[in-house]
Structure 1
Amino acid sequence: MYKELESNFFLLVKSDKNKAFQLVFDAYWETLYKQACKKIYSDDIAQDLVQDVFISLWDKIELLDAEKSVLAYLYAILRNKILKLYEKDEVRLRYAINVTAKEISSDIHSQNILLEKELKRIIDLEIERMPPRMREIYILKKEDDLSIKEIADDLSLSEQTIKNQLQSAYSRLRMRVKDYDSSLALLTIFIVNHF
């Protein structure tokens, strides 16, 4: 059936390009559409691809070799269009992943900056509320970076008193942040212990 159809096609191309095209379109459209659906899994995109295949056929209809199969030619065009679609989708996917990763990273960075600012404000307020001696010891340790021995010598207090005051200061800060927002608790522990 196909051999006769294709023979008629090549005869018609010379006399009536429109009829030749219609003959092949009617005979092969559904076959190509089913093939495209197997590869694409989208009816709309499969229809578009087959439409593009027939546009390509129309553009080159006079150039086809009568010795070759029209159906094989159409399959080759369809295969190439599907491959190009996959390539485009891969590029789009890589781009989407890249953009999304940057947006997520940017969002997380922005959230962390806001959390740090809020946490700093909470800690500063709690430091202001500390008893004067506790605040003084805490500031000498955290801001001036003095050792417990240096603080004890400067204030004429025992090292144990300094340790106790610092422990109480840390405890107050942890409790204050925990009461404020438990999601800040881990960040507080990190900051209090590392700054």
Structure 2
Amino acid sequence: MGRYSKYSDKELTDLLKSGDQSAFTEIYNRYWSVMYAHVYKMLRDREEAKDVIQEIFSKLWLKATEIRSNQNLAGLLYVAARNRVLNLMEQNRVRNDYVKSIASFISEIDPSAIDHVDEKKLTQIIEQEILNLPPKMREIFEMSRKENLSHKEIAAKLNISDQTVKKQVQNALKIIRPKISNLSVFLFTLIILR
């Protein structure tokens, strides 16, 4: 393994393209901490930064054969990190807009409408929450919950890592659960205060 540390990025990339796990490990060891620092500086969230780095290296391994031989490895990793961070920022913006729309919806509920809220209506509200998820997250969440597919099965179908599937399902639940909990608390409070 020690000899891999002497290889240039180009040599490691060529070995990686041929499926050499030791080359991948050397690339990972060489770039993990600097990539983490780069991503953390943009996100200011340790766990999210670790998830981004994990996703980048997973994709590097899974799509190694697609890397051009003359491609700058450091540049490839930095561009992948930047793009992933920008995507996360966009998702967070969408999520914030979504939270505002739910808050607006809840503030407009007529207390007399509480009598008409039944299980069917609650199911419709949940379905609407799912439809408001970002498209890729919604697709993964529905495959998990409606089709009862495992993370591994979803990853295989969508050609992504198990970790990405797991994170997307967790993110979807983080978005949906509070909305439903808040709605339930809101409805319960209105019933009590009537």
Give TM-score, length-normalised by structure 1.
Answer: 0.50
Following superposition, the deviation at residue 14 of structure 1 comes to 5.6
Candidates 77, 90, 94, aligned match of 2:97: 94
Structure 2 partner of 1:78: 81
Separation in structure 1 between the aligned mates of residue 80 and residue 59 of structure 2, nearest angstrom: 8
Distance 1:69 1:110, change over 3 A: same
Q: Does 1:57 align with 2:52?
A: no
Q: Secondary structure of 2:49's match? A: helix
Q: Does 1:18 align with 2:21?
A: yes
Structure 2 partner of 1:7: 10
Cα offsets for 1:138-192 (capped at 9, x unmatched): xxxxxxxxxxxxxxxxxxxxxxxxxxxxxxxxxxxxxxxxxxxxxxxxxxxxxxx
Following superposition, the deviation at residue 63 of structure 1 comes to 2.1
Following superposition, the deviation at residue 11 of structure 1 comes to 4.2
Q: Does 1:36 align with 2:63?
A: no
Following superposition, the deviation at residue 30 of structure 1 comes to 0.5
Cα offsets for 1:34-91 (capped at 9, x unmatched): 0110110100000000000001100111221121111110111111111111111111
Give TM-score, length-normalised by structure 2.
Answer: 0.51
Distance 1:105 1:22, change over 3 A: same
* Between structures 1 and 2, the one with greater helix share: 1
Q: Which AA in structure 2 matches 1:60? A: K
Q: Secondary structure of 1:68's match? A: coil
Gaps of 5+ in 2: 113-194
Separation in structure 1 between the aligned mates of residue 86 and residue 6 of structure 2, nearest angstrom: 28
Q: Which AA in structure 2 matches 1:57? A: L
> Cα RMSD (Å) of the superposition?
2.3
Gaps of 5+ in 1: 112-195
Following superposition, the deviation at residue 101 of structure 1 comes to 1.6
Q: Does 1:69 align with 2:43?
A: no
Q: Secondary structure of 1:67's match? A: coil
Q: Which AA in structure 1 matches 2:74? A: L
% same residue: 25
Contact 2:10 2:73 (C-alpha < 8 Å) held by counterparts: no
| Mean Cα deviation higher: 14-23 or 25-34 | 14-23
